[in-house]
Structure formats: C-alpha cells, structure tokens
Amino acid sequence: MTEFEVIRRYFTRPAKSAAMGVGDDCARLRVADGMELAITTDMLLEGRHFLSDAEPRALGHKALAVNLSDLAAAGARPCWIVLAIALKSADEPWLAAFSAGLFALAERHGVELVGGDTTRGERTVISIAALGEVPAGTALSRAGAKPGDDLWVSGELGGAALGLVHPEIAEAAARLHRPEPRIALGQRLRGLASAAIDVSDGLAGDLAHILERSRVGARVSYELVPRAAAFRALGDAALEKDCVLSGGDDYELLFAAPAGRRGELQALARELALPLTRIGAVEAGEGLAIVDAAGREMAFRGGFDHFAR
Ligand code: ADP
Ligand code: MG
C-alpha cells in the first residue's frame, strides 16, 4: 500500500462541519463569532507510552482520549483533530482496528478528523492535535483557584496505575487502556469551577500545577479521594496510596470551586451520572498537604517527568 492508499482507506471520512477536510494542502475550519479556539496536542510513542503488542483498537481510542481530555479540562467543546502518524508498515488489520477505535470515540463526540501526515518509521508514533471551541473569555485554566475554594475530583483515581501493575484486573486494565475523557463535565464547569486540570500524571503532581499557577496551597484528605473498587479486595495499602495519589493516566478532572457552589455541583453529578467528590480545600500560602484519617501529613510521590530516562 502507498501512503495515499493508507490515508484514503483508513483516515478519510466525508467532511461535515469542516469547510475543507482531508485531501488538500490545508484543512479549513469555520469558527463561530464570539468563540475562541482551544488547541492541544499529545503524542504516544511505542516503547514509551505503549508496547509494540498493544491492542490497536484501544490505542486508537486512547490516542484521541488523551487529547480530548485536555480540551475537557479547558471547558472546550471538541470539534476537529489532525493526526500525524509514523507506521512501521502498512499492516491492514492493525490500521483497521486503530482507525475504528479512533473514529468510534470521535463520532461519539462529533469530532472530525480533518488532516494529518503519514510516514513510515522505525517505531509507531501517534501524534494528534485537537481543536475545540469555547465562548470567548469563559475557558477554564489551571490559574484561578482561591483560598477557601473546595477541591473536587470526578470519577475515581488510581485504576489506570493499578492496571499497569495488575493487568489481570479487568476494571483496572480498562481504565488504563480505554480512558473516558470528561467532555460533558468540562463544558458544564464553565462559570462554576475557578480552576481545572485533567489528571494525566497523578493527583499530587497535577494538583501541584493548579497550586503553582493559582499561587495558593491546598490540603487534601487521603481518605476522601475516590478510588477504584479493586483496591479493597487487594489489601495492599502501599500500592493503593501510590496509585491513588501519584498514579497517572486516569484522565479524570480535578477542579476548584467556591464552597457556595456545592449544591450545583452535586446536582450536576446526578445529572451526568458521574460522581463528583470533594477531597479537600484550597488554602492561602503555598504547598500541598495530604493528610490521613487522623489528620497527620502523609509523604507522597510528586509529579511525573516525561523527560526522565
Ligand atoms: P502534503 O504533502 O501537502 O502535506 P500529504 O500528502 O502529507 O499532504 O497528505 C495528503 C492529505 O492527506 C492532506 O490533506 C493531509 O492532511 C491528509 N493526511 C495525511 N495523513 C493523514 C492522516 N494520518 N490522517 C488524516 N489525514 C491525513
Ligand atoms: Mg504532509
């Protein structure tokens, strides 16, 4: 197969909202008056982010999910993506499964693939850029958390990291390989949350980004952090703590909101059928304290360094 056959067969769908989609030198997109574009990109490398034998359908899903999660954290509605991909060969079953996983998630959220680049490489590399719209001036960011705000997290944490250690636990493996970007929640948090981030590198590390950008501190109660049910049966307290506080890849939203908005957030959780849990509070000053049930400060492992060897 040539490069162009790969693109035509696996990565071309009729353009819907795009003025020009796949097939020309540039895609063209119409952005409505009063909207801002939110743009993000995330790369998955074979050997670093996934193994050579990774299931291609799940990989297509995850490559898109990690990008849509960033748009969710900004409160943006995802609209378009471009896909740059390096392939070791034109393996048709692999391409069919990969593109099926990617398009299934894309279609669920009305996202259109409008262009990209395809090349042969020594390893598989998948780089997606995602574009979303958000009413001008309303996007969420890591800055804006105020002392006295509550800290909230969606869903549960630690499952994806548990899936790395215990791939035989189906619930945990699913969290790792098929994360669900919290797109509806992100958009509903506009005007409600004072700051937000998606939990890609672990609660402690990602919360530290909010604290740094917002110039505040925080106190989190470890016991309150919602976690995968599988931990209970496992009974490994050290592993549980490491996964829940420092494990990455969960793609839940972590956000701050004024205490006066609790009722609205509880109603939103019911409406979206997505648990929202209050895990702590923003404080004046700096630094993150994570405390156990007795109120003692716990030691924890901080952020993840993607540049580490
Ligand atoms: P150019 O050489 O002008 O950059 P290419 O030959 O690389 O164009 O690509 C041809 C068309 O196919 C372009 O519209 C490009 O955006 C699109 N395309 C290439 N690879 C992909 C891909 N993996 N997914 C979606 N569209 C792609
Ligand atoms: Mg090109």
32 C-alpha to ligand 1 centroid (Å): 25
Give pLDDT tens digits for 127-136: 999 999 999 9
The mean pLDDT value for 282-297 works out to: 96
Residue 217 pLDDT > 80: yes
pLDDT at 122: 96
The per-residue pLDDT of the chain, averaged, comes to: 96
The mean pLDDT value for 262-289 works out to: 97
Q: Which ligand is nearest to the CA of 4?
A: 1
Residue nearest to atom 22 of ligand 1 (CA): 116
Is-contact 170 183, C-beta < 8 A?
A: no
Residue 309 pLDDT > 70: no
pLDDT at 173: 96
pLDDT at 227: 97
pLDDT at 303: 62
Binding-site residues, ligand 1, Cβ < 6 A: 7, 11, 22-25, 83, 85, 113, 115-118
Structure tokens belonging to residue 120: 């042969």
Q: Which residue has the higher pLDDT, 306 or 138?
A: 138
Give pLDDT tens digits for 65-103: 999 999 999 999 999 999 999 999 999 999 999 999 999
Radius of gyration (C-alpha) of the chain in whole angstroms: 20
Residue nearest to atom 21 of ligand 1 (CA): 116
Give pLDDT tens digits for 233-244: 999 999 999 999
298 C-alpha to ligand 1 centroid (Å): 50
287 C-alpha to ligand 2 centroid (Å): 45
Residue nearest to atom 2 of ligand 1 (CA): 25
pLDDT band at 307 (very low <50, low <70, confident <90, very high): low
Q: Which chain residues have CB less than 5 Å from ligand 2, an ion?
A: 117
> Which atom of ligand 1 is the closest one to the Cα of 24?
14
Give pLDDT tens digits for 101-123: 999 999 999 999 999 999 999 99
User: Partners of 5 in the beta sheet?
Assistant: none
Residue nearest to atom 18 of ligand 1 (CA): 116
For residue 186, which of 141, 248, 129, 247 has the smallest C-alpha distance? 141
Residue nearest to atom 3 of ligand 1 (CA): 25
For residue 85, which of 44, 130, 119 has the smallest C-alpha distance? 119
> Angle CA(126)–CA(131)–CA(135) in degrees, nearest 5?
160
Residue nearest to atom 12 of ligand 1 (CA): 23
The mean pLDDT value for 190-195 works out to: 98
Contacts of 204 (CB under 8 A, 6+ apart): 245, 246, 288, 290, 300, 301, 302, 303
Residue 282 pLDDT > 90: yes
pLDDT at 261: 98
49 C-alpha to ligand 2 centroid (Å): 24
Give the separation between CA 7 and CA 84, rounded to whole angstroms.
Answer: 11
pLDDT at 306: 66
pLDDT at 38: 98
18 C-alpha to ligand 1 centroid (Å): 15
84 C-alpha to ligand 2 centroid (Å): 9
Give pLDDT tens digits for 1-53: 888 999 999 999 988 888 898 888 999 999 999 999 999 999 999 999 999 99
Q: Dihedral of the CA atoms 8, 9, 14, 20 (nearest 10)?
A: -20
Q: Which of 5, 8, 22, 24 most suits a substitution to test ligand 1, by most atoms within 8 Å of the C-beta? A: 22
The mean pLDDT value for 259-268 works out to: 98
Give pLDDT tens digits for 146-176: 999 999 999 999 999 999 999 999 999 999 9
Is-contact 196 186, C-beta < 8 A?
A: yes
Question: What does DSSP say about strands 276-283 and 217-221: parallel, antiparallel, or unpaired?
Answer: antiparallel
Give the separation between CA 277 and CA 205, rounded to whole angstroms.
Answer: 18
